[in-house]
Every structure is written in C-alpha cells, then in structure tokens.
Amino acid sequence: MRLETGDWGLESMELLQKHGRKIFLSIILAVVVYAALLLVSDTQKLAAAIRDFRWELLPLIIGLTLFNYAVRFLKWHWYLGVVGVKNLAWFDSGLIFLAGFSMTLTPGKAGEFLKAFLVKQRVGTPVATTSPIILAERLTDGLALLVLAAFGLLIFDSPQVRIVLVGVLVIAAIVIFLVQRRTLANRVMVWMQRAPLLATRMHYIQAFYSSSFTLLQFKTLIIAIGLGIISWAGECFALALIVIGLGIPFSWTLVALSASAMGFATLAGSILLVPDGLGVAEASIDGLLLAFGRAPWLPAGTITQPIAAAATLMIRFATLWFGWWLGLVCLGIVSRRFGQKTDARSADGQSG
C-alpha cells in the first residue's frame, strides 16, 4: 500500500507544529498553577508531608496509572476494529495510542487527533474514518468518570457537583440521540452539499458520520463505558493510595472520596476544554479532599491543607506528567519506526 504522506507523515508534522506553541503555553500555565498551590499552602508542612510519604507505595501508584492506560488502549484498539481497521498490528496500535499522550496539553486534548493521522500513516485508513474514535473516547470516558464521581454523592452530598454531573449526562444523551437519527443526519448532509466549500469534502463528512454512528450504538457504548469505568478506577485508587501514604488510614469512605474527587476533577477539566484540566483539576481535587476529608466522613483522620495539596501535586505528577513524558518517548519511537517504513517503501518503489 502506497501512502500519500512522506517522511513519517506530512500531516502529522503539520499537526505537531500547529500545537507546539499551545503545549509550551500549557507548561507555563502549569508552572503558574503549581506556584499558586504552593502559595496558598504552608510550604514547610507541605514539604514535610511529601518527605514523610510512604515511598514504597510509589510503584503501585504508577502501576495503577499504567493499568488505566492499558485498559484504555484495549478500548482504542477495539474501537479501531469497530470502524473497520483490521490491519494495524497491536504493537503499532499501542505506540500510536501512547504517542497521543504527547498531545494531552493541548486545549480539550484536540491534539490527540494526531492518532488518526498516525493510523493513516501506518495503514492508510482515512482520517475521517478514525477521528470519531477520539471523540467517542472523550464521550465514553466522560460518562465513565461521571459514574465514578457519582459514587461520592452517595456519601458526600454536594448540590454543585450534582448539577454538573446531571448537566453532563443530559448533554451526552442529546449528542448520542442526534447522532443515532440517520434520517436527520442525511437531511443535514444534503443541506451541507449546497455549500460549495462543504460539497467538495462531503465524502470526508459522510465517512466521519458513518464511524460516529457505529461507535455510538447502544451495545458499543455500554462496552466502552464499562471499560472506561474499569480504567479510570485505577487512577481513583491511585489517589486513595497517595492519601494513605500521606498518613490517612484506609477506609472505603476514603476510596469513595478519591473516586469522587478524581472523577469530578478530570470531568470538569474536560468540559472546560482546559489543557488536560490544568488549574481546574488541581482546584477540584484539592477542594474536594479538603471539603469532605474530615469528620464525620473520615473520623479516623483529617485531610489538612498540606496533605490535600501534597496529594494533588503527587497524583498530577503520577498521571498527567508521567503520561505526557511517556507520550513524548513513544512519539519519538513512532517517528523513527514509521519513518523507516516509509523510507523502505520509497526505496522499493524506486528499485521497482
């Protein structure tokens, strides 16, 4: 199969260049956010909390993050099969999935569409066919996080959190309902054909809608949301382990609080389209741990401001920043591996 892209993918490189400045600005934003978190905390007590952390728990915390990635990868690869991509090797699929983490610092993770370009580079599948997978991942992950966040409402009643969760559920239901109305979609596409600019790209739009329709069918949704709940539960337990490592005794209430804080924080960051929730996620995790990490919910121990701040910093470094660096490493591997394949094909073509 001869691909239209050269080197390791002209479109992929253009996407990287487009989002490079945004990623740099996101890093600056992260520095500001963490500086603010330090300013509102007692830095001496915060440093003491981190120093006294039970560091023997770190491998298990990182393992739970990797568990999250592994299950989410299974969903990604399964989604590829759902839309008809059967010829992408598991190893290449895994590299592409992880390389997408290098784009998590783009607003709304829009840069993760890089995965669709890399699939095209590797096996030639049109971007319009696979790009709905990225949107389906966001939607089903959001619904899974909503379920995890809702666990906390069984113990910690918060009207503000309840309103946000109900709002997300309503919006998701509307999106799914509209996508599944083929007659309505066909009418919209017929109307779009009247615009000259859109008429020339209707085959992309139709391919995009076809994949979206398939990915958002009821059975596919249930499986994807189930995988999402399992995967994101890993990071929720990771937060609970961090709090335990900071000196708070284990309890199932603590687990529920961690699930609620992590689920709501990640969901809120996604809704507001902030680069991987920077600022929003930190404020949510810190605020929820402080609000509900005390009596009568946690009678065995109280989560103080230094402990909440330390837990927030540590979970973000164990998830967001660990994943970003892993994504950069895999992106480097992809660039060399896929570039070598393209070069080999070019050489074969010239020798032939």
pLDDT tens readout for residues 162-187: 787 788 788 888 888 888 887 887 77
Q: Where are the alpha helices (DSSP H) in 83-110?
A: 90-99
- pLDDT category at 309 given cuts 50, 70, 90 is very high
Domain enclosing residue 97, as ranges: 10-180+216-351
| Range 58-86 average pLDDT | 96
What is the band of 324 on the pLDDT scale with cuts at 50, 70, 90?
very high
- The domain total for the chain is 1
Residues 199-208, mean pLDDT to the nearest whole number: 67
| For residue 7, pLDDT beyond 70 | no
| The predicted structure's pLDDT at residue 19 | 63
Question: Does some domain include residue 119?
Answer: yes
CA distance 277 to 30: 10
Residue 311 has pLDDT above 50, yes or no: yes
Closest CA to 8 of 346, 328, 326, 327: 346
What's the DSSP call for residue 41? S
Name the percent of the chain lying above pLDDT 90. 43
Measure the CA–CA gap between 227 and 212, rounded to whole angstroms: 18
How many C-beta neighbours within 10 Å does residue 180 have?
Answer: 15
pLDDT the model gives residue 212:
82
Whether omega for the bond prior to residue 107 falls within 30 degrees of 0, making it cis, is no
**121-130 per-position pLDDT tens digit:** 899 999 889 9
Least confident piece of the model among 50-64, 145-159, 275-289:
145-159
> Does 41 reside within a domain?
yes
Note whether 80 and 130 are within 8 A (CB): yes
Q: Which pLDDT does position 67 carry in this prediction?
A: 98
HSE of 235, CA atoms in CB hemisphere, 13 A: 34
pTM of the model: 0.85
pLDDT for residue 199: 61
pLDDT digits (tens, 9 = 90+) for 209-256: 777 888 888 899 999 999 999 999 999 999 999 999 999 999 989 999
Mean of the per-residue pLDDT values for the chain?
83
Q: Is the pLDDT of residue 276 over 50?
A: yes
Q: Is residue 196 part of a domain?
A: no
pLDDT band at 342 (very low <50, low <70, confident <90, very high): very low
Q: Report whether 152 contacts 257 (CB < 8 A).
A: yes
Mean pLDDT for the stretch of residues 322-327: 94
213 vs 334 pLDDT, higher one: 334
**Residue 204 lies inside a defined structural domain of this protein:** no
Mean pLDDT over 324-344 rounds to: 79
Q: What is the pLDDT of residue 350?
A: 42
Q: Which residue has the higher pLDDT, 339 or 67?
A: 67
| pLDDT attached to residue 6 | 45
- How many angstroms separate the Cα of 277 from the Cα of each of 76, 109, 214, 320? 22, 10, 29, 9
Q: Rounded CA gap, 270 and 277, in Å?
A: 6
Q: Return the DSSP state at 154.
A: T
Q: In this predicted structure, what is the pLDDT of residue 193?
A: 72
Which pLDDT value is given to residue 8?
46
Choose between 113 and 109: higher pLDDT.
Answer: 113
For residue 186, being part of any structural domain is answered with no
Whether residue 273 has pLDDT greater than 80: no
Residue type, 232: W
Q: What is the pLDDT of residue 289?
A: 93
CA-closest candidate to residue 270, choices 170, 165, 177: 165
The pLDDT of residue 72: 97
Asked whether residue 230 is assigned to any structural domain, the reply reads: yes
Answer whether residue 94 is part of any domain.
yes
Is residue 265 within 8 Å of residue 280, measured between CB atoms? yes
Question: What band does 39 get if pLDDT is binned at 50, 70 and 90?
Answer: confident
Q: Residue 89 has what pLDDT? A: 95
State the DSSP string of 259-311: HHHHHHHHHHHHHTT-GGGTTHHHHHHHHHHHHHSSTTT-TT----HHHHHHH
- Predicted local confidence at residue 12, as pLDDT: 54
| 185 part of a folded domain | no
- Specify the pLDDT at position 101: 93
